[in-house]
Amino acid sequence: MLRTWSLAILCSFSMLAVLGCGGDPALESDGNASADESAVETNSAAAPREREVRPVAARMVTTEEAQQFADKMKQAYDDNDTRTFDGMIDWDTMAMRATAGLDLSESDRTEVMNGLQVGMRSVGSFVTQIRRGGGNTADYQLVNILEKDGNRVVIFRASGDNGVNYHQYTLQRVDGQLKAVDLYVFLTGETITETWRRGLLPHVAEMNKNWLQRATSKESAYVQSIDKVSQFQNLVLSGQSDAQAWNLFYSLPEEVRFSKGMLIQAYALSNRTGEDKIMEISNAIRTHHSDATGLELMLIDSLLIAEKYDEALQALDAVDQAVGGDPYVDALRGNTYLLQENYPKAMEYFDKVMETGLDMDTAFYGTVAAGLPLKEFTKVAAAMETLEERYGVVWGDLRSLAEYREFLESPEGQYWMETHNY
């Protein structure tokens, strides 16, 4: 009998990587399905019904249809309407994609599908997971509607206290309705169905002993190492023993250790361990998975730590191109130029962000930081006022800070002091 609890763990771990922005794993699942259980609408325990996914050549989803889909998804997120949001995603089709090509009997395939459904319900709504991943300032915004690989896709930015991620939904018609049939997650560099499929391999091997003989060498190595992989994952999530986790990681065969999923988890662990580990795992990801769209997003911090600013800018360029352009990335470019003390270039990008109207405190802080040495005090004062009024920043007495001296001596600074009771 398939252990559905283990599939629930699979879904929980994949949701952690998929939906969060690098948040605390302890917040990703509270062990209770709660009211969100009903939000993930799947078929009953009966065998999954045949779904009609219309060929793309028949009629591609139009930009207008995709915009309507994105507007509805955004509204559902804003309203915390979990049922509507999750109902826009075809979980059955995604589960069938995850199991496509696996040598399973009809009963085994049904059992796997049901296990995935149990796992999805156990971690609650997609909306809940996105909000938890983003923390107190969690935000979900449409970035672009693009055509990729013959399909229409909508790309959302998930951002908040814990960083940023991008979700690319592939849209197709299923039984006459427009649905998201897969989700590419930038921080994992793969679709959620690929993540699920990897986690299913050990269960497939249990169900069909002959399958392992036909599996690829990577799949076979993963299945044979599953006990160590599971122990490693549990230690990464629990934080009980980082040293033991690293020992398990290094004991894995190279085909498993350098796989995308394992390196992503090792990167999460490295952030608790120190700069040397961060750089080691970052280099391994760049070496073995340079073609994985979006993984550059995860590595930017490590490049900045190593003061590899040009490489960080190249990574940002790659992310920006992949999402079709996003002012959020311009703010990150501005911050990178700030670290280089290239204040004119930094201000150029912060100005671009301001022109778009993006609500992002980083851009206003950056404008202050770049504007002070450039003596662009009108911009400095305006950014400070916005940070104060919109974000609740309390500036305190700036007269003791050397970098603000010339600003306070300027007409803009004098007015600032007058209006702040200096």
Over residues 296-320, the pLDDT tens digits come to 888 888 889 889 999 999 999 999 9
Q: Answer yes or no: is pLDDT of 64 > 90.
A: yes
Phi, psi of 308 (to 5 degrees): -95, 70
Kindly report the pTM of this predicted structure: 0.81
Query: How far is residue 411's CA from residue 399's CA, in Å, rounded to a whole number?
Result: 15
Strand partners, 152: 147, 171
pLDDT at 391 exceeding the cut of 80: yes
What value does the mean pLDDT of the chain take? 83
Judge whether 373 and 364 are in contact, CB under 8 Å.
no
Residue 409 has pLDDT above 80, yes or no: yes
Averaged pLDDT, 99-106: 76
Report how far residue 330's alpha carbon sits from residue 173's, in angstroms, rounded to the nearest whole number.
Answer: 34
Q: Which of 187-201, 228-242, 243-257 has the lowest mean pLDDT?
A: 187-201
pLDDT of residue 212: 58
Average pLDDT over residues 51-59: 49
Token output for 59: 């009629």
**pLDDT at position 107 over 60:** yes
- The backbone torsions φ and ψ at residue 230, rounded to the nearest 5 degrees and listed phi first, read -65, -40
Question: How many Cβ atoms are within 10 Å of 88's Cβ, its own excluded?
Answer: 18
* pLDDT confidence band for 11 (50 / 70 / 90): very low
Query: What is residue 42's predicted lDDT score, i.e. its pLDDT?
Result: 41
Question: In this predicted structure, what is the pLDDT of residue 12?
Answer: 41
Q: Answer yes or no: are the C-beta atoms of 179 and 88 closer than 8 Å.
A: yes
Compute and round to an integer the Cα radius of gyration of the chain.
24
Task: Please give the single-letter amino acid code of residue 51.
Answer: R
Res. 85: pLDDT tops 80? yes
User: What residues contact 245, with CB distance under 8 A and at least 6 apart?
Assistant: 232, 235, 236, 269
Question: Average pLDDT for residues 265-286, to the nearest whole number?
Answer: 90
Q: Which residues contact 263 (CB under 8 A, 6 or more apart)?
A: 257, 281, 284, 285, 288, 289
Q: In which band, very low, low, confident or very high, does the pLDDT at 338 lie, cut at 50, 70 and 90?
A: very high
**Mean pLDDT on 392-404:** 94
Q: What tokens were used for 398?
A: 């700036």
* Statement: residue 246 has pLDDT above 90: yes
The domain made up of 4-215 is a member of CATH 3.40.190: no
